[in-house]
Amino acid sequence: MKLKIAVLPGDGIGPEITQQSVKVLKAVADRFDHHFEFEEALVGAAAIDLLDSPLPEATLELCKNSDAVLFGAIGDPKYDNNPDAKVRPEQGLLKLRKELGLFANVRPVKAYDKLIPQSPLKADRIGGADMVIYRELTGGIYFGEKSTAEDGQSASDLCSYSVEEITRIAHLAFKAAQQRNKKLTLVDKANVLETSRLWRKTVTEIAKEYPQVKLDFLFVDNAAMQMILNPTQFDVILTENMFGDILSDEASVIGGSIGLLASASVGKENAMFEPIHGSYPQATGKGIANPVASILSAAMLLEHFGLTEEAEAVKKSVELSIKLNVCTIDINKDNHYTTDKVGGFLEGLISEVENISINNENLNLGQMTII
């Protein structure tokens, strides 16, 4: 398959982790005989510094003319600590999502057996947790009208949703539930918010088209608690933009590290793949950032284009690296590997896999030769 992939490394650890996913995708292309073409562009603080815009026109054009976008991370503390900043890096990501029509953000969360003992949550609660969050991505309070009064004494962010916006993501979430454990939980705040009541009404109506899927509802405050108390109850979670943002960070604790959580943002015509973590400025350039979330996002890219075997190869190699403890410091505290080494190991596994039969002993051997 021929794919043109726009690479937007962005800020902080974005460039170093994205570099690893590109390595892995190149290994996939070599092994499975595909042709992936990569082209880089600026976004975020990196783009503001050079071109005064968090999403330069050339970047947007490149993304529109590519089959997929591989996104790194966005954000810089110099803007976080300045509430008066007129331009912010995050605006680049939000505009990109809107312009590309990426209305559904898909965030899978699962507990890796090996990492369960390290989780701050009790093992018997999280063992077997496996869910996917469908977060609406181009509506709600993120994109409603914003204003600050001239006297600076009040401000407003409007939250609004249309039936159409709810319907298009709801269908994707129901279809996913049909392929999984046939349970969909709508997370909202319908006891308080008008928009949430519209979500409930619309989703209840759509559920009739998916009789095999069991639909239930949770208020977001309760959902936040249930995520920690009993995460195995979830299969597919469907929710609006802001609730999805918050719940997916919370859910990352189940996976053992936020450095493992990937996401796909899809629309009618475009698709973007990005880790759910931020730019982690304190780690920039130190070689300690976990590249796995970005690499698993690349696996979601492959899946999106129907390259299932290829995506499996990437996911399998990640699972093996975790099993063998070839991990960055967030996971492997005592004997950690650098960002580049972990990426190189996964790249090596994918390229070498034909020569290495999949068993632990050989992989240990592989580990020594590849690293």
Specify binding-site residues for substrate: 97, 107, 135, 221
Least separation in angstroms between residue 141's CB and ligand IPM is: 11
Nearest residue relative to ligand IPM (C-beta): 90
Compute the radius of gyration of the chain from its Cα atoms: 21
Least separation in angstroms between residue 300's CB and Mg ion is: 17
User: For the packed helices 360-370 and 339-352, what is the interaxial angle rounded to 10 degrees?
Assistant: 120
> Which partner in ligand IPM, Mg ion, none is near 93 (CB below 5 to 8 A by kind)?
ligand IPM
Judged by CB under 6 A, the residue of 11, 16, 240, 245 near ligand IPM is: 245
Look up 330 and say whether it is catalytic: no
Tokens of 144: 């409603």
Least separation in angstroms between residue 261's CB and Mg ion is: 10
Q: Are 72 and 18 in contact (CB under 8 A)?
A: yes
Burial class (CB in 10 A: 0-12, 13-18, 19+), 35: exposed
Tokens of 57: 């026109």
> Which partner in ligand IPM, Mg ion, none is near 46 (CB below 5 to 8 A by kind)?
none
Judged by CB under 6 A, the residue of 90, 165, 310, 347 near ligand IPM is: 90
Judged by CB under 6 A, the residue of 25, 42, 93, 370 near ligand IPM is: 93
Judged by CB under 5 A, the residue of 245, 274, 310, 330 near Mg ion is: 245
Count Cβ neighbours within 10 Å for each residue of 39-67 and write b for 16 or more, e otherwise.
eebbbbbbbbeeeebbbbeebbebbeebb
Nearest residue relative to Mg ion (C-beta): 245
112, 142, 161, 280: which is the annotated catalytic residue?
142
Does residue 139 belong to the site contacting ligand IPM (CB under 6 A)?
no
Least separation in angstroms between residue 121's CB and Mg ion is: 20
Look up 112 and say whether it is catalytic: no
78, 221, 268, 286: which is the annotated catalytic residue?
221
Look up 189 and say whether it is catalytic: yes
> Which partner in ligand IPM, Mg ion, none is near 28 (CB below 5 to 8 A by kind)?
none
Q: How far apart are CA 124 and CA 261, in angstroms?
A: 21
Burial class (CB in 10 A: 0-12, 13-18, 19+), 34: middle
Using CB under 6 A as the criterion, what x/- string covers residues 47-86 for binding ligand IPM?
---------------------------xx-----------
Rank residues 69 and 313 by Cβ distance to ligand IPM and give the closer one. 69
Q: How far apart are CA 359 and CA 249, in angstroms?
A: 33
> Which partner in ligand IPM, Mg ion, none is near 253 (CB below 5 to 8 A by kind)?
none
Numbered residues of the known binding site: 97, 107, 135, 221, 245, 249
Task: Supply the DSSP string of 275-322, one letter for each residue.
Answer: ESS---GGGTTTT-S--HHHHHHHHHHHHHTT-HHHHHHHHHHHHHHH
Using CB under 5 A as the criterion, what x/- string covers residues 193-222 for binding Mg ion?
------------------------------
User: Measuring CA to CA, which residue among 262, 257, 275 is closest to residue 71?
Assistant: 275
Phi-psi region of 103 (alpha: psi -120 to 50; beta: other; left: phi over 0): alpha
76, 245, 280, 341: which is the annotated catalytic residue?
245
Q: Is the dihedral of CA 118, 124, 126, 129 positive or negative?
A: positive
E strand residue ranges, the chain? 2-10, 35-40, 68-73, 104-110, 130-136, 146-148, 155-157, 183-188, 214-219, 236-239, 262-266, 271-275
Q: Which stretch binds Mg ion (CB under 5 A): 34-42, 114-122, 237-245, 261-269?
A: 237-245
Judged by CB under 6 A, the residue of 276, 293, 307, 318 near ligand IPM is: 276
Q: How far apart are CA 201 and CA 220, in angstroms?
A: 17
Question: Which residues contact residue 362 at a Cβ distance below 8 angstroms, ignoring those fewer than 6 apart?
Answer: 356
Look up 245 and say whether it is catalytic: yes
Residues of the shown chain interacting with Mg ion in the complex, contacts defined by CB under 5 A: 245
- Contacting residues toward ligand IPM, per CB under 6 A: 74-75, 90, 93, 245, 276, 278
Residues belonging to the active site: 142, 189, 221, 245, 249
